[in-house]
Amino acid sequence: MIYHQAIIVGGGLAGLRAAIELNRWGIDTAIISKVHPLRSHTVAAQGGINVAIGNNPLAASDSPETHAFDTIKGSDYLADQGAVLKMCRMGPGLVYEMEHWGCPFSRNDEGRIAQRPFGGADFPRTCYAADRTGHALLNTIFERAVYHEIAIYSEYLVTSLALDDGVCQGLIALDLKSGMLVPFSSDAVIFATGGAGRLYGRSTNALINTGIGTAIPYRAGVPLKDMEFIQFHPTTLFGTNILVSEGARGEGAYLLNKSGERFLADYEDSREKMELSPRDIVARNMVREMEKGGGFEGGHLHLDLRHLGKQKIEERLPGIRELSMKFAGIDPEMEPIPVQPGQHYTMGGIDTDAEGKTVVKGFFAAGECACVSVHGANRLGGNSILEALVFGAIAGEGAASYIEGKEKMREEGMVLDSLKREEEEIKNLMASAGKERVPDLWEGINRVMDDNVGIFREERSLKEGLDKVRELKERSKALALSYKGKSFNYELYWGLELQGSLDVAEAVILGALERRESRGSHFRRDYPVRNDGSFLKHSIVKYTEEEPSLIYRDVDIILFEPKERRY
């Protein structure tokens, strides 16, 4: 049995920031991650982090309150407004903290942190480190964790929580190197496991971004919130879906159809802000343009950077140029980049309050796996790593406060009971003589989500998708593994990931089917109008052995009443 006062699952920006906050309180803290922290998906964030610090000459009158309004408006008014305001007010201090820790932000002529425009914002408030902002932030904060000697267990896959009468006592994790299940006892657990983008085949997300980090607490009784809201990034490389940062459009890149026209001017909701409209609007209008014949063969459009010039591209968008040359075979200084929308972000997640707390005592969540909710129905670019920093710090402080006020008593019996159950389940899976194989079922999930739960949705395809996912869940009971070894058994690893991802896919589709309106990233062709009277509410999905149940909860509206039109 391994014991730490606090255990954080996930080594990305949210998890590392939570660990540093706990360390400040003198709490013995450990991080468990299925990859080395520097391989966490935060490293792939490109464009920047939003904070109202007014370093751009066009943002002199920007403020946290203006940032909050843009965020709430961009969310299609589904974000909880008190949580949004908290995030926007805390953000500047945390960005300056990262700067003081050595984060190499790009600079303006005065030597201050540079800020660029991003979609859905009234001011250019996105701080950046060229187009590798996540890489810069993650390496900076990881160095800080090493400095504080925070324990890190890399290549451990968490498989379950250990609960005793609604109180989290620890967790069970599979040591991928040894193949052994390891019990961890803890006074508090924070999940910061990232998004579930790999439910989709066409995704910008790393392969590690499956649904298991959301599924584990879901199965343990923690509800999921707003799972139907899946963001599709407008610009991913055609054919590979590698992200092409919104920073490119922030620097002035154009989206063009096959006639070389900036077609966004033809659509009312993107006519004013064009390429800097919110992501959901741009992605939908790209699909509409291709549906009416404006796309290139195979289904893509062009992102044109050529007019930005060699110096600007190489100084501010070097990563985009490198990716385009390596994976599309084109130099964006000379040719437009072929792009198409692709799944990018999970707005929904583990249901938490603005302090990172859940219905299970001692269990907290932060970052993309959590739903506070500060993104509502649509996240603004630049707000994801801000959320990770802010709510990572908040969850760390909340867990520390919980531990300080808790009786110094550990119930390790429940952890050992959980260990026995997990050992039995894995033993049965390894011994299974079933005919189903892991790759086939994963391909099935990806196909269903791509085809039935995409940018445009309707009742018929959603019902079909739900039936197919439930069929895949039934088939997964006959899952069998061809490799029986213990050390680095990635067939077992992906089998465990699969089972959790099926539960999360079911929750996504159920939420989308029952939300009979269009709001933010969730667009129903059969219900194309936003319906505040019936659906200005969060969807809450609870797990049961048979089928999940769905209820609704009011949105926190304390600042701005919803307007009919966002833009």
Catalytic site positions: 233, 249
| Cα 85 → chain centroid | 20
* CA nearest neighbour of 152 among 311, 325, 4: 4
Token digits of residue 57: 């000459």
Token digits of residue 543: 């797990």
The residues, ordered by sequence, that sit 6+ positions from 460 with a Cβ below 8 Å of its Cβ are none
| Cα 240 → chain centroid | 19
CA distance linking residue 284 with residue 270, whole number of Å: 10
Token digits of residue 73: 């408006």
**Burial (0-12, 13-18, 19+ Cβ within 10 Å), 137:** buried
**Burial (0-12, 13-18, 19+ Cβ within 10 Å), 544:** exposed
List the Cα angle 127/230/567 in 5-degree steps. 65
| Cα 410 → chain centroid | 33
Torsion-angle region of 226 (φ positive above 0: left; ψ -120 to 50: alpha; else: beta): left
18, HSE (Cβ side, Cα atoms, 13 Å): 37
On whether the CB atoms of residues 515 and 539 are closer than 8 A, the answer is yes
Kindly give the interhelix angle for 384-404 and 81-100, rounded to the nearest 10 degrees: 90
Token digits of residue 445: 């999930």
| Cα 335 → chain centroid | 31
284, HSE (Cβ side, Cα atoms, 13 Å): 24
What element of type H or E holds 352? none
Say which DSSP state 304 is in. Answer: E
CA distance linking residue 506 with residue 508, whole number of Å: 5
CA distance linking residue 500 with residue 473, whole number of Å: 10
Give me the count of residues in the chain: 567
On whether the CB atoms of residues 291 and 245 are closer than 8 A, the answer is no
CA distance linking residue 283 with residue 461, whole number of Å: 20
Instruction: Give the pairing type, strands 254-256 and 370-371.
Output: unpaired
**Burial (0-12, 13-18, 19+ Cβ within 10 Å), 529:** exposed
Omega within 30 of 0 (cis) for the link into 277: no
What element of type H or E holds 268? none
